[in-house]
Amino acid sequence: MDIEALKAKNPEHWNKAAAIRALTLDAVAAANSGHSGMPIGMADVATVLYEKHLKFDAARPDWHDRDRFILSAGHGSMLIYSLLYLTGDPEITLDQVKNFRQLGAKTAGHPENFLAKGIETTTGPLGQGIAMSVGFAMAEEALRARFTKKLVDHYTYVIAGDGCLMEGVSQEAIALAGRQQLSKLIVFWDNNNITIDGTVDISDRTDQVARFKASGWHVQEIDGHDPEAIDAAIKAAKAAGKPSMIACKTHIALGHAAQDTSKGHGALTDADQMAAAKEAYGWTTGPFEVPADIKSQWEAIGSRGAADREEWETRLEAMSASRQAEFARTMAGDAPKKLAGTIRALKKQLVETQPKVASRKSSEMVLEVVNPIMPETIGGSADLTGSNNTKTADLGIFDIENRKGRYVYYGIREHGMAAAMNGMALHGGIRPYGGTFFCFTDYARPAMRLAALQKVPSVFVMTHDSIGLGEDGPTHQPVEHLAICRATPNTLTFRPADTVETAEAWELALTQKSTPSVLVLSRQNLPAVRKENKAKNLVEQGAYVLADAEGKRQAIIIATGSEVSLALEAREKLQAEGIGTRVVSMPCMELFEQQDEAYRKRVLPAGPVRVAVEAGAQMGWDKWLCGERGKYQKAGFVGMKGFGASAPAEELYEHFGITADAIVEQVKALL
């Protein structure tokens, strides 16, 4: 690459881009870790994007109608931090850049959305950024349809690397975006032909241009160091009428001794090589020093959008007060005031009718009353709509011709769905929920973890939650998945026992602002267990006494979901034998853990035998069985010890010994 020619041809551009390159080298060297090559390689693309296209106001990174910039290749985090610092973001100061990757800094190793407003998403696990960007673009379409382009009209830009495109989730994202013709989604592929193990072709020879075209994308190929070509390509992409991929041929670690090598991917900290690279860039100031003229050019870019933002605010203020309030509520992710009353009314009715339905059906019954009063919900399923019961009559289908539709046919793409949901939630203004079988939590895992880490309230509707799904067999029968969800930080795992508990769980899920929820629902019908109407949301405390012991309290049976009715049945039998038995329903362990000790102690007092019943693995239960005033010698578990099998559900419950009689036996053996 002839750097002198690049400099000579576009000197102003070159210097702005060189600022990114120099800051990256300095920050990585100071941290003695990080990834230098990618920000250096993509500095030209980023500079043109920020200078000529990205709609933003650096002083107000929370402006709702800004364009979104997503760094799917999250290891190149210094690209974002450089851009934010240079353009004048209030949070990413020079001190933050100097503290790159240090404890407490906002400039974490990989970008973390919750550390600074200017960072849209948490990326790093490859492919997640491009997959979330589909959700961002869908959210923009849906909100534009709802609030008009006076308020919502922006692009989603993504930088993705070879790693992002090799991850399978990228295919799900590309195909979904192509199907939905998301014309305001523009992806730059950092086509540098380098991965950690060597050149890309040692593991991949996919024709990415042909691949994107096969899914209905507009594709261009350009020199990623030519500012005019970059500008022209972005213009063409905006006009394309479909999602657009710009393949940017770049040199990783441009101008450094490690250029075009795997070494260039990582931390370039050799002092002599750094000096040589800076000399090549024509960069003569000291570490972290950006010449004033270059910094002010960048700051001008940062304030370029201020007028746009002010006009937007004027348009917003011209709207009716109620419209403004609704827009504010929606973007803030606040549930409507009506929600609590709606849930209470539903519960009252349910206690009267005592429906015996599968909890996936219960979930649908809740959605039927919730969706009409929460226009911000967007539901969907990974091709199991009828089984997940996620679609309600009022939603309409989100599609090219109907952006007001609120139901998404995600296709057989659990991972892409979960990531898109996260993207919608991060965009703001949308409360996404999506369904699949609980066992396929496995497919969605990387995105479900990222929901928790990113603090977004996505709702995962996971049905067919145990051997209760029956004949489809062990490939489809979750065993360890409750433990997986419960072990994940900042995740609420709800396994409701009947329709009332399902309504309460949904109410909690829909009012979360920084925690995702997993609703774990049965395939099979469950009897109603809540016989009395309570205005209070009992699931909120995680566990509660559903039926107390009559006479001396000798045993406590703790159960969740489909096993609560077995616990009640066992209690009947034990009481008949004079054994006082309490049944505790524990729909959400995480919330129970958050209660104060006094409450936990009231629900699970010391003394009685404790038996837990759940058609899943024991892991996670020992805490409630023998921890916190429980005793190992007086504790038992009725559940799964290995994988399930293929047979009708009732036979499986019998076969694996998850029955009222087995609970009774267990209790009696411990007494």
Measured from the CB of residue 493, what is the shortest distance to a copy of itself in angstroms?
12
Query: Residues comprising the binding site?
Result: 35, 75, 124-126, 162-163, 192, 194, 265, 360, 387, 440, 464, 472, 476, 523
Interatomic CA distance for residues 149 and 312, integer angstroms: 10
Restricted to residues 24-53, the positions that interact with a copy of itself (CB under 8 A) are: 31, 33-34
Residue 166 Cβ vs a copy of itself, minimum distance, rounded to whole Å = 4
Nearer to a copy of itself, 154 or 242 (CB): 242
Q: Is the dihedral of CA 125, 129, 134, 140 positive or negative?
A: positive
Kindly tell me which of 37 and 255 has the beta carbon lying closer to a copy of itself: 37
Which region among 46-54, 439-447, 550-558, 569-577 touches a copy of itself (by CB under 8 A)?
439-447
How many residues sit in the footprint of a copy of itself (CB under 8 A)?
115
State yes or no: residue 102 binds a copy of itself (CB under 8 A). yes
Q: Which stretch binds a copy of itself (CB under 8 A): 60-68, 147-155, 440-448, 517-525?
A: 440-448
Smallest distance, a copy of itself to C-beta of residue 418, A: 11
Spatial distance between the Cα atoms of 465 and 438, rounded to a whole number of angstroms: 5
x/- track of binding to a copy of itself for residues 128-167 (CB under 8 A): ----------------------------------xx--xx
**CB 517 → a copy of itself: shortest distance, Å?**
17
* Stretch 398-437 residues interacting with a copy of itself (CB under 8 A): 409-413, 415-416
Nearest approach, Cβ of residue 31 and a copy of itself (Å): 6
Q: Rule CB under 8 A: choose which of 321, 401, 489, 598 binds a copy of itself.
A: 489
Whole-number Å distance between alpha carbons of 624 and 602 = 13
Q: Is 149 left (phi over 0), alpha (psi -120 to 50) or beta?
A: alpha
Asked if 490 is part of the footprint of a copy of itself (rule: CB under 8 A), the reply reads yes
**To the nearest whole angstrom, how small is the minimum distance from the Cβ of residue 363 to a copy of itself?**
17
Report d(CA 159, CA 165) in Å as an integer: 11
Of the pair 298, 624, the CB lying nearest a copy of itself is at: 624
Cα–Cα distance for residue pair 397/391, rounded to 1 Å: 9
Contact stretch for a copy of itself (CB under 8 A) within 101-109, 234-242, 502-510, 511-519: 101-109
103 vs 271, beta carbon nearer a copy of itself: 103
Q: What is the number of other CB atoms lying within 10 angstroms of the CB of residue 241?
A: 9
The C-alpha atoms of residue 252 and residue 195 are separated, in whole angstroms, by: 10
Burial class for 607, CB neighbours closer than 10 Å (0-12, 13-18, 19+): middle
Q: Which one, of 134, 135, 81, 156, lies nearest residue 112 by Cα?
A: 81
- Considering beta carbons, is residue 107 or 502 the nearer one to a copy of itself? 107
Give least dist CB 37 to a copy of itself, A: 15
Residues in contact with 665: Cβ distance below 8 Å, sequence separation at least 6, in sequence order: none
Residue ranges in 348-387 that form contacts with a copy of itself under rule CB under 8 A: 381, 383-387
Long-range contacts of the stretch 289-296 (C-beta < 8 A, 24+): 290/19, 290/22, 290/23, 290/86, 291/15, 294/15, 294/16, 294/18, 294/19, 295/19, 295/86
Phi then psi for 630, rounded to 5 degrees? -90, 170
Write down the least CB distance from residue 394 to a copy of itself, Å.
Answer: 18
Asked if 299 is an active-site residue, the reply is no
Residue 397 DSSP one-character state: B
Number of C-alpha atoms within 13 angstroms, CB side, residue 59? Answer: 10
Q: Which residue has the tokens 């290995």?
A: 642
396 is a contact residue toward a copy of itself (CB under 8 A): no
118 binds a copy of itself (CB under 8 A): no
Query: Of 140, 414, 507, 614, which residue is the catalytic one?
Result: 414
Q: Of residues 57-86, which lie at the interface with a copy of itself (CB under 8 A)?
A: 74-75
Q: Could you give the angle at which helices 338-353 and 499-511 cross, rounded to 10 degrees?
A: 170
Nearer residue to a copy of itself within complex by CB, 211 or 344: 211
Going by their DSSP bridges, the two strands 525-526 and 357-358 should be labelled as: antiparallel
Positions 188 through 247 that interact with a copy of itself (CB under 8 A): 195-198, 201-208, 210-211, 213-216
- 312 versus 440: smaller Cβ distance to a copy of itself: 440
Residues 260-279 contacting a copy of itself, CB under 8 A:
none
Taking the C-alpha atoms of residue 367 and residue 394, their distance in angstroms, rounded to an integer, is: 10
Question: Which parts are annotated binding residues for thiamine diphosphate?
Answer: 75, 124-126, 163, 192, 265, 440
Q: Which of residues 598-657 bind a copy of itself (CB under 8 A)?
A: 617-620, 622-623, 625-630, 632, 635, 641-643, 645-648, 651-652, 655
Among positions 95, 228, 311, 471, the unique one binding a copy of itself when judged by CB under 8 A? 471
Secondary structure (H, E, C), 430-488: CEEEEEEEHHHHHHHHHHHHHHHHHCCCCEEEEECCCHHHHHHCCCCCCCCHHHHHHHC
Catalytic residue annotation: 414
